[in-house]
Structure 1
Amino acid sequence: MTLRRQIAVLMGATLALSIATPASAQDFNDDSRFEFRLSGFDSDSSIRFVGTGVATNGEDTESAEGAGTLDIGKRWRPRGELAFRLTPRQTLRLNHYDLRRDRAWQFEGDWIDPGSIFDEVELPGDPVEVPTVDFEGKVSFRLTTLSYDFAVVDTPTFEWALGLGITQASLKAQASGSSSGTEELDPRFEQLQWSRTRTAPGLGTRLTWTPAPRWRMELQGQYLETSWGNFTEERGHYERGTLMAEYLLTRNIAVHVGYDWFRLKLANDYTASFDAPNETDVGTIDITGTLSGQLKVHGPVAGVTFRF
């Protein structure tokens, strides 16, 4: 059974339960110590890379800039949130995301003339044969945040809280590629596996509005700098936003829909050096620049809230 079907069955069951259980006195302001949101997250993900650099041979200098976006697709994934109310104004919150993607690409072999690649540079040589290349990649990204928030404003219909917490990110990547080979190149197959788990403190805020006894609207935001912990060695920041609307079916069960969005931006400086071909009479070229990347995930959420 797919996750989308599981969510539909679960929501149908809660609706049937609400019909069978009187709910005339239900109110989100009723005391509840625990709240657990179980959601399906239809996440749309993309990775964008931007590179800038300056190349020089000591006499001449050239600047370059390039960018590209890799769309890694949409997929329903589970999302969970647990809230434990310590006092009327103090709450512990646990948020968890689990994202997984796999994609495959293929480049058909062809003959390429090096002299036609760059208009302003004449490269010697005849056209070369490029082999067919098949590439597969899998990415797993898990994000867990444990935070404490305190309600600075607390009224029967509105609450504004500030939070401080710890975020742990686990990123795993697996890639494999193969080439068919040509008369000049042998067929090849390569595999790569990489994983990293890091933590960092973060700041957050929450706005909760109860316009009617059975309705609740909630907005959450979170922000952290990578330099605050060992989240990653690169410069950057992480930010997340969530907008949720909930309707109370019974004293202990509600349904919710909303939209989730988060972004991780990283940047790092690089240096490189290489010798140009002798026939160009350029010499050694030194390159310095900055490479930045952005992982963006967003999409609708829907699910069930349990209150006790």
Structure 2
Amino acid sequence: MTSLPAPIRLLPAAALCLAFAPSAQAQEADRFTLRLGAMSAGADTTLSASTVYQGDPYRFSQKVDFGDDEWVPRVDGVFRFGDRSRLVFDYFNYDKKRRETLDQDLSYDDITLPAGSYAEAQLDFQLASLMYDYAVVENDGFSLGLQVGAEWAKAKASLVAEAGDERWEDSASEDGYAPVVGVRMTARPGDRWLLNLQAQYLDADWGDFGDYDGSISRANALAEYRFTEGFGVFAGYEWYRLDVKRSVSGDDLQDGIVGWDQRFKGPVVGVTFAF
């Protein structure tokens, strides 16, 4: 859990690019900025487990495919209340179902699954953060901020299966919160343009995530164009990773661990309102 993901480790290099971006004309900093957008999120899910059962080691790893990318809501806001002080808010929600249906009978030994039998899986993941951002560098063309705050995460997974007269369903939901640290870099290369990079990192051991151990990482980059002082559009790219593990035990189990590696990535677009 000590190493940071590659997108976050590369941000210092990106900061140099922003720092030397030309500043044609300084744009006055907004008191409040709200960005409403959507992300074309591709989900990459890997479930894993390892344990010792009756003295024998067992390992399991399986990727879960949720199909095509899904357009999901994305919101962020910035409230500037001092020359160097900001409050930054972010929210992301991925909610998607995947259904598979048999188009013909499937038989195995003396068991037959009739055509029309199906299995449907659903994943609902939400992530929200509120951070204090202090600009250690602040001038007309460039700003570098360090962030600290709190992040809340919730994940819910459900599965429904039906075969003939038999039906089975189950669901699990976990949520928690923890302190989060981050870094932000903003450049204004022109009177209508803004470039912004941001990264955040959370360790589950820091907060209220029960028996879970792991981390949540996030990085994003966007370019914004203002048509007026109070209205603009933006486009960029966002990346999330939820990497958690949980210890399990039982009468015959020793050192059992269940893992969930969930990644979301994709382009983002939206509109900006500033006051």
Confirm or deny that 1:219 pairs with 2:219: no
Displacement, 1:104? 1.1
Identical counterparts, % of pairs: 28
Confirm or deny that 1:140 pairs with 2:134: no
Work out which of the residue numbers 53, 65, 70 in structure 2 matches 1:71: 65
Confirm or deny that 1:129 pairs with 2:111: yes
Q: How does 1:1-308 map to 2 (within 5 A)?
A: 29-57=27-55, 62-73=56-67, 74-106=69-101, 109-111=106-108, 127-129=109-111, 131-132=113-114, 134-180=118-164, 187-272=165-250, 288-308=255-275
Rounded to whole Å, the distance in 1 between the matches of 2:257 and 2:153 is 24
One-letter code of the match for 1:110?
A: S
Gapped runs of 5+ residues in structure 1?
A: 1-25, 112-126, 181-186, 275-285
One-letter code of the match for 1:236?
A: G
One-letter code of the match for 2:46?
A: R
Rounded to whole Å, the distance in 1 between the matches of 2:179 and 2:142 is 27
Output one character per residue of 1:181-237: Cα deviation in whole Å (capped at 9) or x when no partner.
Answer: xxxxxx421232433332111111101122222221111000011111113421100
Displacement, 1:97? 1.0
Whether the aligned pair in 2 keeps the contact of 1:261 and 1:297 (CA below 8 Å) is yes
How many equivalent residue pairs?
A: 247
Q: CA RMSD in A?
A: 2.2
Whether the aligned pair in 2 keeps the contact of 1:28 and 1:216 (CA below 8 Å) is no
TM-score by length of 2: 0.82
Rounded to whole Å, the distance in 2 between the matches of 1:199 and 1:239 is 14
Displacement, 1:48? 0.4
Partner of 2:7: none
Displacement, 1:66? 2.6
Moved more, 262-271 or 146-155: 262-271
Whether the aligned pair in 1 keeps the contact of 2:184 and 2:197 (CA below 8 Å) is yes
Whether the aligned pair in 2 keeps the contact of 1:47 and 1:69 (CA below 8 Å) is yes
Structure label with greater radius of gyration: 1
One-letter code of the match for 2:265?
A: H
One-letter code of the match for 1:34?
A: F
The secondary structure found in structure 2 opposite 1:72 is: coil
One-letter code of the match for 1:50?
A: S
One-letter code of the match for 1:292?
A: G
The 1:134–1:28 alpha-carbon spacing in structure 2 relative to 1, beyond 3 Å, is farther
The secondary structure found in structure 2 opposite 1:227 is: helix
The 1:32–1:288 alpha-carbon spacing in structure 2 relative to 1, beyond 3 Å, is closer
Whether the aligned pair in 1 keeps the contact of 2:26 and 2:141 (CA below 8 Å) is no
Whether the aligned pair in 2 keeps the contact of 1:27 and 1:251 (CA below 8 Å) is no
The secondary structure found in structure 2 opposite 1:211 is: coil
Whether the aligned pair in 2 keeps the contact of 1:28 and 1:215 (CA below 8 Å) is no
Structure 1 residue runs of 4+, over 6 Å off? none
Rounded to whole Å, the distance in 2 between the matches of 1:150 and 1:100 is 33
Displacement, 1:56? 4.4
